Amino acid sequence: MGCGMLEQTKKLRNFPKHRYKHGKQTKSIDLVTFKRMVDKVDTLRHKKYSALLIKSFLALLFWCGIRKTEAIGSPAKRYVLPSCKRHSEPIAKVSEAIPGIVKEDIWLEGEWLYVQAKARKHGSREAALMLPVGFPYVDLIIEQWKQTQPKQRVFPLTEWDSWDIMKRLDAKKYPHFFRLVRITELCANPEMSVADICSWTGLTPETINAYMERSGRFIRETAEKMKRQYALKGL
């Protein structure tokens, strides 16, 4: 394997530069904060993409919590597995091309918008996600979908541009941040079972349990049980 290929692979794996300059964000945002971000899109005046495309893409990530490449797609890329205990030399591999969401992956039925998004990274999502059409900004997703030609991508952004847009809206945020927001919100909801969240996110039960722990759900449930326990004792 030549040095040229390794160098080319390194560049592909490390774009865009300084994408985690402010560290990975762990604090969720509410709908009011998200609204400010969406409203700011009008000030971007992006040369390549319409405000509708950008806003609908943000709305999709916020409500569905899918990975950016599950939405916009990604071409096949070369990458390198560094040397480790299992193999002493770096191994060059090629990732699978991802088609992204096309016109036929979205449809309307009554008060629901269905979004079929194939889970990545060994995940599994068998059914289409469902969004109430009355949710804020879902109307933008619907309008972007209606304007898309058959068999074409509904959100035709590049990975680089999706990062660039996010950084221009909020220097600390990145596309995958919205996945954290949605998973955290689901895990914090006591009405959601592990099976429910696994089905929506495509993640494993082990991963969801870890998110639940970070969300404080188990601590809150334990505190409520202690409160009920000692209330019965008249304390």
- Per-residue confidence (pLDDT) for residue 22, from 0 to 100: 52
Choose between 14 and 171: higher pLDDT. Answer: 171
Q: What is the DSSP letter of 120?
A: -
Query: Would you say residue 189 has pLDDT above 70?
Result: yes
Q: Is the dihedral of CA 188, 192, 195, 199 positive or negative?
A: negative
Query: Would you say residue 3 has pLDDT above 70?
Result: no
DSSP H or E stretch at residue 12: helix 3-13
10-19, 96-105, 206-215: segment of lowest average pLDDT: 10-19
Choose between 34 and 15: higher pLDDT. Answer: 34
Backbone torsions φ then ψ of 131, nearest 5 degrees: -120, 130
Choose between 86 and 53: higher pLDDT. Answer: 53
- Per-residue confidence (pLDDT) for residue 165, from 0 to 100: 93
Helix, strand or coil for residue 93?
strand
**Residues paired with 112 in a beta bridge:** 109, 132
* Distance (Å, whole) CA 22 – CA 15: 16
- Per-residue confidence (pLDDT) for residue 87, from 0 to 100: 83
pLDDT tens, residue by residue, 29-79: 889 999 999 999 999 888 899 999 999 999 999 999 999 999 999 888 888
Strands (E), 38-111: 78-81, 91-94, 106-109
* Distance (Å, whole) CA 197 – CA 187: 7
pLDDT interval class at 5 (50, 70, 90): very low
User: 3-10+27-231 maps to which CATH number?
Assistant: 1.10.443.10
